[in-house]
Every structure is written in C-alpha cells, then in structure tokens.
Amino acid sequence: MIKKQWLLAGTSLLLAGSLAACSSADENTEANGETAAASGQTKLVYWSIDRHDSDFIEQKISEYEGLHPEIDIELKVMAENYAQSVDIAFSSKQAPDILRVDTGNVPTWVKKGYLESFDSYMSEEMKSRFENVLINEKNTVEGKVYTLPNIGQFWRLIYNVDLFEQAGITEPPTTLAEMVEDAKKITEAGKSSGAYGFAGNFKSSSGFERIAYPITTLSKNTGTEGFDFQTGQFDFGMYKEVAEALRQIEQDGSMLPGSESLDIDPLRAQFAQGKIGMYFNHSVEPSVYKTQFPTEVRWAAALPPTIDGTQNGASQVIAGSYLAMSKDSEHKEEAWKFIEWLYSDEVQVAYQEGGYGVSVIPSVAAVAKAPDIPGIEHFLPTSYDGIYPATPIVITEGRLEGMKKVDVFNRYIFGGGDLDKELEDLNARYNAALEKAKAAGDTTIEAQPDFDAGALQKSLADK
Amino acid sequence: MNQAKRQINAWTFVAPSLILTLIFGVYPIFWALKYMFYDYQGFGEPLYIGLDNFERLFRDKEFWHSVVNTFIYAGGKLLITLPLSFILAVILNRALKGRQLLRAIYFLPTVISASVMAIVFYVIFNSYNGMVNQLLVGSGIVSAPIDWLGPKYALLTAIIIAIWGAVGNYMLLFIAGLQNIPEDLYEAASLDGAGPLRKMWSITVPMLGPVLQMIIMLAITVSLKGYESIMVLTEGGPYGKTEVMYLYLYKLFFPVSSGGTSIQQFGYGSAVGFATAVIVGLITLIYFYVSKKLNDIY
C-alpha cells in the first residue's frame, strides 16, 4: 500500500513538473525582465513575423541599445499562426510592447483593444512625412493612426528569359491573349526538358490572387480584392477574363502539373531549375533567388500584362502597415521612441539599400538607392504602381457563408463549369456578408462613386 | 488509516488532474455550448442569434461535403488498416526471427509527427518531380505523371498516408490482445486436429472479441477526427476535395488566409463543433450497439 502511494506521489510530481516545464518560457521572460529592471534598464519586447530581415533588425536593435543604454529590446520572430499568437498574448496579459501588424488585421486589432494610437506621440514633422500615404482601415481607424507604412510589395510577371528565347518569344506578354499563347509556345518548346509555360501556387489561399490582382488592377479602374469602390459592393466579375485565361492555360496543358497543390516555395524551386516559363509574385523574389534558391536561370520581371494591352488602372502595391504599439505596454514612451527611430529616414534608407524591401515612404524613396541585388531593378516603383484604399474583404470573409472566392476560382480553372453563374453566386454571398459586417459596425468603408484607379498612376513614381 | 484520511488522500491525488480537466476539458465545452447561439468573431459584443448558426449549418453545402469526405476518408482508411494490422499482428506474434525489429519498424510511423509525415509524402507524391511518379513513368506503368494531389486523387493519397501512419499502431494493439489468449487453447485445438485457419476463426477471433471491439471503436473515432496530415498536405484542397469535418472546423477557429489576415467565426465554429461531436458520438453509439456481439462471445 505504502509502495503504491509513493508511486502515485512520484507520478503526480512528475506530471506537475512537466506542467511547470510548459510555462518555463514565460518565467524566463519574467526573469529577463527582472534582470533588466535590476540593472536599471527598461525592457521592450518586439514581435515580428519577418524572418528575411531579422539580421538587419537585430543589428539595428544593437545600434539603438548602444545609443540608449537604458533600453533593452528583445526581438522575437514568430512563426505561423501569428494572429492567433497575438490573440493569446493579449488575453493572457503577455503582449509585446511593439508588434508587427498586417494591413488586414489593423481594424480588427483596434476593435479588440490591442493597439495604441500613434496620434499623441507623432511629431508634426513625422506627421507631414506620412500624411500622403495614410489609408483608412490600413493605417487609421476612425481617424486615428495605429501604424505607418514602410515597404510595399510591387507585383510583376516573373519570367525565364532562356525559355522565352527557346520558344522564339522576344518580349514578355502585354495582354492576356499573349500570355496564354506564350505559355503554350514555351510548353511545346520545353517538353523535352520538362518545362511548362506557366505556374501558380494554387494550394495557397492567395494563389489565384497573386495572378488576378496585379493583372486586373492594372487593366481596370474600379477596384481591387473583388471590391468595386465606385459601387461599394463586391463584384468578382472583374476577374472573369483572368479566370478564363487561366482555364485556357490549364486546358492547353501549359500549366505546370500539380499547380493546384503547389506552395510558393516548391514553385520557386521549380522556377530556379528552369521548369517554369512565367509566374506572378512581388518584390521579395530577387532576394529569394539570391539567398534561398540560387539559380543559374536567366530571369527577368515585367509589369503585369493587361486584358487588352491598355493600362486603365494601377498595379496594386500591397503596403500600409508595419509596426504597432500595444495598448497594454507599460513603457509606451520608450516603445514609441524606438518605433519612431525604426521609421526614420536613416533606418528606412538603410533597409531599402540593404535589399530588404522597396520603400513606399516618399522621403525615403526620394533618396534611397536601389539595393545591390540582381533583378531588383524590375521591381522598383513605376508610374503604373499604386496603393489602393482598404477594402472590407477580410471583415467580410469573417461572415461569409459557403465557399471562399479562391476555391470557387480554383474549381473553375482546374475543373471548368459555368463561370457566370459562379460569379453571380459569389457576388450575392459576399455582398450579403458585407451587409452583415456593416450592420455589426465592423467596417465603415463606403462607396466612392468618383473612385478612379487610373488616378493612382504616378502616385509613387513619375516614370 | 481511518476512512476520512483515506478519502482525503484519494482526493489529494485526484484533485490536480480533476481541476485541470475541469479547466481545460469541461469549461471549453460549456464555452462552445454557449457561443453556438451567438454571432461572435472574437471582438466586440457577442450577439445572441438563437438558432441561426444551426440554420446556416443545415444549408452549408461545404460542411456536408466535408462530412461525406470524412466518411470516405475514415472508411477507406479503416477497411485497409484493420485487416492489414491484424494480419501483421498474427504474423509478428509468432516465433519469427527478428520480429522485435519488424514490430519496431512497423510502429515507427506512429511516433513521427503527422505534419512531418505529410511534408515527406508531399515530396514523394507531387506531380512534377515526386518519386512515385518517377517510378511509375520510369518503369513504363503509366505514360504521364499522375496528379496524386489533384482533385481526382488527393483524397486517395490522404487515405494511403493515413494507412501508413496507422497500421503499426493497431498492429501493436492487436499483438497485445493476441498475447492474452492462453496457449493451451491452441494446443487443445491442435490435438483435435484443427488447422491454422480453423484455429484463427474459432479461437483467435472470438477470444479477441472485447479487444477487437475497443480497437475498432478507437480506430473509428480517431479516423473521423483526423485532419492534421491533410491540413499540411493539401489544406483541404484542391477546392475542398480533401476537406474533412475537423479540418473545416479548425479553419473556422484558425482561418487559413492570405497574408495571415483573417477573422475567426467563433459562434458558427461552436455550432459546427457541436454538430461534429454529435456525428462522431452517434456513429460510436451505433457501432457499440452493432458490435455488442463481439463482447458477448468471450
């Protein structure tokens, strides 16, 4: 009996020990905080999701700590499910002082009470540097600033010059019809080496968007992300031509087999091996091919083709949000000073010149040189790039019933069907969800009858 | 030791796990039971909407499609896994040289994480340079690569991976059951002139009855709830072709969306969670009713 009790007690202790082990990370953080406090330092915790620039940020943190010995900054580069990690951190009162925020999360995180507005902290000089690039529900919510932009994703058609030449094509396509035709020619010429004309990472929920958004925003002047700013309603008909072109590419056999289950990294690996003629992605690609997938392939990038060759809108640049400050932070002044320094021209110019991204801050873009990375020249801002107002897509999909747009388009591209009927159903479901979101007060985005995406041309560069 | 002291001792030992179960096991269930009647995205005031979430559930084609997929997935997995693991168990229960090593090899997939497994299988099965296709095309069995992860075969591929991951586990459970069958029953049967098949049918299967009932029940519930490897392999795609019940449910609480920007649907997710629990519970009950005989034979 006694022996059994000891066994039970031992097992209980072991279990209790394992539970304690689960919480060790927090204890460490607390212990670090105490050490910082003991040495008279203020500890700031900074969460990021950007792995590609973590070396640069670490270096800048050391620099800042050198300038301000009273500050100790801990950078944590988070993995996937970042939004969930942030939710858990705030609900358990362990939120970081400074955190990276994605554009679509800004209104939600403000409503959840996570973010502190920058308004009372920003100097007049800083306000004037950013006043022309602030966007409602990307940077501001109900007139208050919660984050500022730094870099933008500039979207291009990326193509293998060798495969184009092998197929007798001298220029990248400028229309959808040419894109379909070129994909066919490249596949025919590349059959012996297993090369295909076109690929997309359709496994990802952004697979279709990566192709459709750049083409459509440059072709049409009404909106983006399926949202027509002129009517204030969703109209997925704007992607009809792109969906039909991709269906044609698939039926022609010019699409890399398995594209429907492809992620972006396997796609890049295949492109680096010379198996893909063209695909769409943004300004991170040059550094990817420099470090992650070094390649012998001669590649280049061009502005997205348009539906009929005319550029009525502006190719959507994804930009708007970067750093935010926690409402729960006990060191807001100190956190703000660091945020302000990271947003300074000095740091942001070094960021662009180091090749970590292309800046959309006007004062930085004016003086920063192009980074020394092969291929980046194709991704620098042109007169045909523009930052769009925020759309209510994220908040709408939170109330959407039935299949999301990405699955509907993928089903059509790889399986066919009645596209008009699908589009009608998509519009009805998305607009019903939008109405619910509006009724619940989740979004204040309204129609802008005079919106013209063509007016966004030349907003980021003159040429 | 008097009765009161015994009680205190017993409760002291039970209390930690009981408290943790109440906090992490029972409370979330009541939380979900409450929110299935609410419209709640994780921020703002939850809005009471009565049975609206259930109305939506009944007209939600994607959900019912995922239920059908779950049955195909679980059915396909069980139909192959259970007989195969039983046969392996019978073989490896004999005095076979190197059986410990073989048991360990068959059991190995059980200890590998489902996500890691799925990534490895993605490399093996993908259409453009996967090993399976290279073998099939290289040996002339097929002329063009098969799109194993495409709309036609993705669910089949998921089933194959599930079988690979589960056979060793059930094999071990069957071996444990087989080792409880007294050897003298087989000896007596041999004296009566029974052959191997006769012994299998008249001794092994009936004597395994109660264990078999538990193993099958475990296998059914685990298969109906399985989604991890599918999430990594296809994320439920292409366009819902491999969407299973629990993956559909998972996405409502932890949405997969471009750029990591997405909104949870806690209210509807709770309703779907309730429905999936009812479905799995009902199937388990039906199974228990149908399999009563297995328990009686012993």
Kindly report, residue by residue over A298-312, the tens digit of the pLDDT: 999 999 999 999 999
Is the model more confident about A80 or about A315?
Answer: A315
Is some CB atom of chain A closer than 8 A to the CB atom of B243?
Answer: no
Quick check: helix, strand or coil at residue A230? Answer: coil
pLDDT tens for the 298 residues of chain B, in order: 688 899 999 999 999 999 999 999 999 889 889 999 998 887 777 889 999 999 999 999 999 999 999 999 999 999 999 999 999 998 888 877 888 888 888 888 888 888 888 889 998 998 888 899 889 988 988 888 888 998 999 999 999 999 999 999 999 999 999 988 888 888 898 898 888 888 888 888 888 888 888 899 999 999 999 898 898 888 888 888 999 999 999 988 887 654 445 678 889 999 999 999 999 999 999 998 888 776 665 4
Supply the pLDDT for residue B288. 87
- Please check the confidence at residue A34 and state whether its pLDDT lies above 70: no
DSSP β-bridge partners for residue A77: A48
Average pLDDT over residues A237-255: 96
Q: Cβ contact (<8 Å) for A397 and B56?
A: no
Whether B195 and B203 have beta carbons less than 8 Å apart is answered as no
Binned at pLDDT 50, 70 and 90, residue A28 comes out as very low
Report the SS3 class of residue A169. coil
Containing A349, the helix (H) or strand (E) segment is helix A345-353
- Per-residue b/e over A385-412, b at no fewer than 16 CB within 10 Å? bbbbbbbbbbbbbbbbbbbbbbbbbbbb
pLDDT above 60 (res A20): no
Alpha helices in chain B (DSSP H): 3-21, 27-35, 52-59, 61-92, 99-111, 114-125, 131-138, 154-178, 183-191, 196-199, 205-225, 228-233, 245-253, 266-290, 292-297
Query: How many other CB atoms sit within 10 Å of the CB of residue A31?
Result: 11
Query: Cβ–Cβ of B261/A261 closer than 8 Å?
Result: no
Cβ neighbours around B52 below 10 Å, total: 16
CB neighbours (10 Å) of residue A14? 10
Amino acid at A139: N
Smallest Cα distance from A432 to chain B, Å: 13
What is residue B99's predicted lDDT score, i.e. its pLDDT?
83
Q: How far apart are CA A208 and CA B239, in angstroms?
A: 12
Size of interface A-B (CB pairs under 8 A): 136
Q: What is the mean predicted confidence (pLDDT) over A280-298? A: 89
Q: Flag if A102 and B261 touch (Cβ within 8 Å).
A: yes
Residue B238 to chain A, least CA–CA distance (Å): 6
Nearest Cα residue to A94 out of A21, A188, A152, A29: A29
Q: Residues 6 or more apart from B245 whose CB is under 8 A from it? A: B63, B66, B67, B69, B70, B224, B225, B227, B276, B279
A178 or A138: which carries more pLDDT confidence? A178
CB A386 within 8 A of CB A316: yes
How far is it, in rounded angstroms, from Cα A31 to Cα B230? Answer: 40
Query: Over the Cα atoms of chain A, what is R_g?
Result: 25
Task: Provide the edge-to-edge strand list for the sheet that holds A227-228.
Answer: A223-224, A227-228, A233-234
Which is nearest to B260 in space by CA: A109, A239, A446?
A109
Ramachandran region of residue B45, left (φ > 0), alpha (ψ -120 to 50) or beta? Answer: beta
The helix or strand, by DSSP H or E, that contains position A219, with its residue range, turns out to be helix A207-219
- Considering CB atoms only, which of B149, B256, B262 is closest to A258? B149
Least confident of A55-59, A271-275, B186-190, B260-264: B260-264
Residue B266 to residues A86, A392, A399, B30, B272, Cα–Cα distance (Å)? 17, 19, 11, 13, 10
pLDDT class for A155, splitting at 50, 70, 90? Answer: very high
Query: Could you give the CA distance from residue B70 to residue B78 in angstroms, rounded to a whole number?
Result: 12
pLDDT at A314: 95
pLDDT at position A290: 86
Q: Residues A96-124: what's their mean pLDDT?
A: 91
CA A147 to chain centre: 15
Contact A224, A388 (CB under 8 A): yes
Residue B25: CB atoms within 10 Å: 11
A441: nearest CA in chain B?
B44
Long-range contacts of residues A121-126, Cβ cutoff 8 Å, at least 24 apart: A121/A332, A121/A333, A121/A336, A121/A340, A122/A340, A123/A340, A126/A340, A126/A343
> Do B224 and B70 contact (CB within 8 A), yes or no?
yes
Name the strand (E) or helix (H) holding A11. Answer: helix A2-22
- Does residue A35 surpass a pLDDT of 60? no
| Partner-chain contact A257 B145, CB within 8 Å | yes
Compute the distance between CA of residue B260 and CA of residue A83 in angstroms, rounded to an integer.
Answer: 7
Instruction: Please report residues of B whose CB lies closer than 8 A to that of A194.
Output: 128
Please state whether beta strands A227-228 and A323-326 pair in parallel, antiparallel, or not at all (unpaired): unpaired
pLDDT single digits (tens) A44-53: 999 998 877 8
For residue A12, the model assigns a pLDDT of 47
* Mean pLDDT of all residues belonging to chain A: 88
Q: Which residues of B105-117 are buried (b: 16+ CB within 10 A; e: fewer)?
A: ebeebeeeebeeb
Q: Is the dihedral of CA B175, B176, B177, B183 positive or negative?
A: positive
First-to-last CA distance in chain A?
87
By Cβ distance, the residue of A8, A16, A258 closest to B126 is A258
Distances (CA, A) of A377 to A218, A244, A274, A319, B158: 19, 31, 21, 19, 43
Comparing A251 with B114, which gets the higher pLDDT? A251
Contacts of residue A390 in chain B, CB cutoff 8 Å? none
Q: Say which range, A12-16, A173-177, A180-184, has the weakest mean pLDDT.
A: A12-16
Rounded CA gap, A179 and B73, in Å? 39
Confidence of residue A135 (pLDDT cuts 50, 70, 90): confident
HEC assignment per residue over B174-186 = HHHHHCCCCHHHH
CA-based torsion, A26, A30, A31, A36: positive or negative: positive
Contacts of A87 in chain B (CB under 8 A): 42
**Over 70: is that where the pLDDT of A33 sits?**
no
Answer whether A15 sits within 8 Å of B17, measured CB to CB. yes
List of residues 6+ apart from A278 with CB closer than 8 A: A157, A158, A159, A160, A172, A173, A179, A182, A183, A186, A197, A198, A199
Contacts of B259 in chain A (CB under 8 A): 102-104, 206, 318
Q: Which residue of chain B is at minimal alpha-carbon distance from A7?
A: B13
Q: Nearest by CB to B62, which of A402, A414, A442?
A: A402
Q: Quick check: A2 pLDDT over 80?
A: no
- Distance from C-alpha of A424 to C-alpha of B189, rounded to nearest angstrom: 71
- Measured in angstroms, the CA of A100 and the nearest CA of chain B are apart by 12
Using a CB-CB distance cutoff of 8 angstroms, which residues of chain B are in contact with residue A399? 41, 265
CA distance B205 to B211: 10
Element (H, E) at A6: helix A2-22
User: Cα B184 to chain center, whole Å?
Assistant: 36
DSSP letter assigned to residue A394: H
Distance CA A77, CA A53 (A): 10
Strand order in the sheet with A42-48: A71-77, A42-48, A98-100, A323-326, A115-116
Does residue A286 contact residue A373 with C-beta atoms inside 8 Å? yes
Length in residues, chain B:
298
Q: Do A108 and B263 touch (CB under 8 A)?
A: yes
CA distance A69 to chain B (A): 35
Interface of B with A in 7-36 (CB under 8 A): 9, 13, 16-17, 20
* pTM value surpassing 0.95: no
